[in-house]
Structure 1
Amino acid sequence: MFVNFRRVSKCQLLTTGLLLCTLMVCWEELDHHVVSHIRSFTYRYLVDRYDFDTLPQPGAIISYPSYLINHPRKCGGGRDRERGLADILLLLFVKSSPENREQRQAIRNTWGNESFARSELGASVTVLFALGVHHDAHERASVQAALLQEDWEHQDLIQQDFLDTFHNLTRKLILQFQWAHEHCHWACFLMSADDDVFVHMPNLVRYLRQLQGTPSKAPKDVWVGHVYRGSPPVRRKGNKYYVPPDLYPWVSYPDYTAGAGYVVSGDVAAKIYRAILVLNSSLHIDDVFMGMCAKAMGVAPRGNVYFSGQAKALRHSCVYGHMITSHGHAAADMRSLWRATTDPGVKRQSGGLYCSMMRLLLLCRPYFQNTYPCAAAFA
């Protein structure tokens, strides 16, 4: 077949050229969303070979940043444990930035209120805020003074001497598991959450007790949250999540849970800490590093549709009865959501055929929603 170029108009040539140019410009984006995901998913579930144990932490002795603020007896210990006063159901770390005092106070006044958990839910929950030091050297002294005053009032900050930046999120993850190992390794569960995440504490406590079974039985191999499976590393320079091949050579990440909010049992927390001692922690994406540690220790995550990941729960009483986490809440929003979810009438309204139908209508709409998946309507 021959092309008669005499019949090809200048407009057709121009259109074809523009299409080719657009394809060339957008190919990296198309590849990231299509080809890279296919390669990644194939690698994850067919090859599934990650030699993380060949990436040792340099040096025989691991040096951790020193504590600037610490409360080693926050979980009790010693005589407290002997008298049965330190049976911690949940050790909950909130990852926070030094300047986010308003967010921390909103959490203390709502879902992170330890007294509420103890008196209303009969659960021993320890809530701590994990921080580094302020990234701006000019403001650091004043911010640190404010943190010391805040901690004097509330006694719930844990701070180490590293810059509190996006690229040090893995350092903050290590802080949590290190502190849990040193000062609260007897807690049944450990949870990590961002400070813009709303946690429905009554639903969470009920869920953890179901996982626990009986109070005398320690839960095993629990790692639950919003699971990402077969995700590829971002190779586009300039992207916030860019990871170069020399830092992470594989085409797929191991399965991991969204860092916005996840729960592990005490035995898994101990395994993650042991992995931290030997793996290279240079990767700045903390939830992926968590996945690397878990993979090295033979721990697999399980998904729960009511752990929202990066999504936000819909505001409806039929959803409140099931939600566990919701992401992306400012302080005022967190307070209003707490009032709505703890309304005595919500529990009465969350069951029955009406709410089953409402969840179906709310969560299974035929267009994309940044909220719980459709499967949550049937959970």
Structure 2
Amino acid sequence: MFVNFRRIRKCQCVQLMTTCLVLSVVMVCWEQLDNSVVSHVKSYSYRYLVNRFAYINKSLTIPREQARSFSNFRYLLDHPDKCAGKDVLLLLFVKTSPENIERRNAIRSTWGNETYIQNTLGVTVKVVFALGAPPTKKDEPSSSKRAVDFQEQLIQEDHLHSDLIQQDFLDSFHNLTLKLILQFHWMHSHCPHARFLMTADDDIFVHMPNLVSYLQDMSSRGVTDFWIGRVHRGAPPIRSKDSKYYVSFEMYQWMSYPDYTAGAGYVVSRDVADKIYQATLTLNASLYIDDVFMGICANAIGVSPQEHLYFSGEGKAPYHLCIYDQMMTSHGHVDDIYDLWKAATHPQVKQRTSGFIGRLYCTAVKMALLCKPYYFNTYPCKAAFL
């Protein structure tokens, strides 16, 4: 009896210690748990049960004079005649920073080469780069001189390529929404006849032959209210101050964002681009997460994003010819862009992926590549069956 009692006491001590350990872990991780799990539960509940995003439109609507402060910047570099007299299938804006000249040159030499697109694909695509002014530090006198030198380099670069669209707001992460507004306002003023507008990051890869073929098909159908990309539904604001995507309650008080597409790359039709332009004339653009602001504008005009399985989010697509056959965009490419362009547009891709055997082979390959949990935020598993 005495031995059994000691065993019972020992089990109780183990249980008590285990409980204390679990509670300690929960207390330490509670903030992270609340920011990730709980916030997503709240967000999805708001998105699918309440879904009164009309309140957002009302609260963010401001007088036109006030809204003009987000777009009334002087152009430092501009090419207003870029689209003049041309039947433009796609106006493609690449969001870039002043220092990323190597990325811009890589794009000009690969998927963003207008001459290649015109001669090989037979359509006019205008590729321009949107950027702000080089940053300076007030407490460093030499910083202003570096900014001036940097601007001189940009002027020389633009003299060679004639594709930089620059305004005099500070080029920074917190001004990405200003860069978004720049794109829609520039299209409205200088390229309103382009059938589609695409906005993309400068570390993205665009499979231009696939994209052009797809947009030509959409254009022949006369699509309207067209907005495609990698769609985020029911995404919650990030309230952790440690994140660069932190959004305060004062800036955005609701539990969920309207649906939006990942800012890495998405396409809208001409009519949607014009409606977004109109929305920016009356909305408060102080929210600096540009793809979310795009979702707010689209919600205000009654346009919803459409999922395209081969537009990636923040993830990089697997390297394989079966992926290249249907690839539209892939994110996170800098050093490998030349090799990827050569591999993805090689004639062998279409040869080996066509026919019954080729399609069967690629379905099996894509299931192996895409139906894995660690390929997060790239193409979903169901893309394997297209």
Q: Same fold (TM over 0.5)?
A: yes
Aligned position for 2:167 = 160
Residue 75 (structure 1) aligned with residue 83 (structure 2): yes
1:282 pairs with one of 250, 262, 286: 286
Shift of the alpha carbon at 1:344?
Answer: 1.4
* Equivalent-residue separation in structure 1 for 2:52 and 2:322 (angstroms): 43
* Equivalent-residue separation in structure 1 for 2:353 and 2:200 (angstroms): 25
* Equivalent-residue separation in structure 2 for 1:131 and 1:93 (angstroms): 10
One-letter amino acid of the structure 2 residue matched with residue 348 of structure 1:
Q
Shift of the alpha carbon at 1:48?
Answer: 1.1
- Between 303-312 and 17-26, the greater mean CA deviation after superposition: 17-26
Contact 2:64 2:282 in 1 (8 A): no
- Between 236-245 and 254-263, the greater mean CA deviation after superposition: 236-245
**Residue by residue, what CA displacement relative to the aligned partner does 1:169-212 show, whole Å, maximum 9, x if unpaired?**
10110110110111111110000000000000000001111211
Aligned position for 2:367 = 360
Identity %: 56
Structure 2 counterparts to residues 248-327 of structure 1, below 5 A: 248-327=252-331
* Equivalent-residue separation in structure 2 for 1:46 and 1:271 (angstroms): 28
Aligned residue for 1:259, secondary structure, equals coil
Residue 34 (structure 1) aligned with residue 42 (structure 2): no
* Equivalent-residue separation in structure 2 for 1:58 and 1:145 (angstroms): 37
Residue 374 (structure 1) aligned with residue 366 (structure 2): no
One-letter amino acid of the structure 1 residue matched with residue 208 of structure 2:
M
Structure 2 counterparts to residues 1-379 of structure 1, below 5 A: 13-50=16-53, 51=55, 52-57=57-62, 60=65, 62-63=68-69, 64-76=72-84, 80=85, 86-137=86-137, 138=143, 139-213=146-220, 217=222, 219-330=223-334, 332-351=335-354, 352=358, 353-365=360-372, 367-370=373-376, 371-379=378-386
Aligned residue for 1:159, secondary structure, equals strand
Q: RMSD of the alignment, in Å?
A: 1.8
Contact 1:349 1:355 in 2 (8 A): no
* Equivalent-residue separation in structure 1 for 2:183 and 2:119 (angstroms): 26
* Equivalent-residue separation in structure 1 for 2:131 and 2:215 (angstroms): 26
* Equivalent-residue separation in structure 1 for 2:130 and 2:300 (angstroms): 25
- Between 251-260 and 50-59, the greater mean CA deviation after superposition: 50-59
Shift of the alpha carbon at 1:16?
Answer: 3.0
One-letter amino acid of the structure 1 residue matched with residue 253 of structure 2:
P
Contact 1:53 1:279 in 2 (8 A): no
Aligned residue for 2:336, secondary structure, equals helix
Shift of the alpha carbon at 1:41?
Answer: 0.9
* Equivalent-residue separation in structure 1 for 2:125 and 2:273 (angstroms): 16
Aligned residue for 1:126, secondary structure, equals strand
Contact 1:221 1:299 in 2 (8 A): yes
Aligned position for 1:83 = none
Contact 1:319 1:350 in 2 (8 A): no
* Equivalent-residue separation in structure 2 for 1:236 and 1:356 (angstroms): 41
* Equivalent-residue separation in structure 2 for 1:306 and 1:190 (angstroms): 18
Contact 1:193 1:260 in 2 (8 A): yes
Shift of the alpha carbon at 1:12?
Answer: 5.0
Aligned residue for 1:60, secondary structure, equals helix
Contact 2:64 2:281 in 1 (8 A): no
One-letter amino acid of the structure 1 residue matched with residue 127 of structure 2:
V
* Equivalent-residue separation in structure 2 for 1:23 and 1:271 (angstroms): 47
Aligned residue for 1:190, secondary structure, equals strand
Q: TM-score, normalised by structure 1?
A: 0.92
* Equivalent-residue separation in structure 2 for 1:221 and 1:188 (angstroms): 12
Contact 2:257 2:292 in 1 (8 A): yes
One-letter amino acid of the structure 2 residue matched with residue 43 of structure 1:
Y
Structure 2: runs of 5+ lacking an equivalent: 1-7, 138-142
One-letter amino acid of the structure 1 residue matched with residue 203 of structure 2:
D
Structure 1: runs of 5+ lacking an equivalent: 81-85
Change (3 A) 1:25 1:182: same
**Residue by residue, what CA displacement relative to the aligned partner does 1:206-264 show, whole Å, maximum 9, x if unpaired?**
111121125xx4x3110000000001101111211111111101100010000000000
**Residue by residue, what CA displacement relative to the aligned partner does 1:24-68 show, whole Å, maximum 9, x if unpaired?**
121121122222111111111221112213322356251311100
Shift of the alpha carbon at 1:19?
Answer: 2.3
Structure having the higher helix fraction is 2
Aligned residues: 363
**Residue by residue, what CA displacement relative to the aligned partner does 1:264-302 show, whole Å, maximum 9, x if unpaired?**
000000111111111110101000000000001000000
Contact 1:306 1:325 in 2 (8 A): yes
Shift of the alpha carbon at 1:11?
Answer: 5.9
* Equivalent-residue separation in structure 2 for 1:56 and 1:140 (angstroms): 35
Contact 1:320 1:350 in 2 (8 A): no
- Between 25-34 and 54-63, the greater mean CA deviation after superposition: 54-63
Contact 1:43 1:252 in 2 (8 A): yes
One-letter amino acid of the structure 2 residue matched with residue 112 of structure 1:
G
Shift of the alpha carbon at 1:101?
Answer: 0.1
Aligned position for 2:5 = none
Change (3 A) 1:357 1:11: closer
Change (3 A) 1:262 1:59: closer
**Residue by residue, what CA displacement relative to the aligned partner does 1:138-186 show, whole Å, maximum 9, x if unpaired?**
1211111110000000000000011111111101101101101111111
* Equivalent-residue separation in structure 2 for 1:142 and 1:270 (angstroms): 36
Contact 2:205 2:331 in 1 (8 A): yes
Shift of the alpha carbon at 1:349?
Answer: 1.4
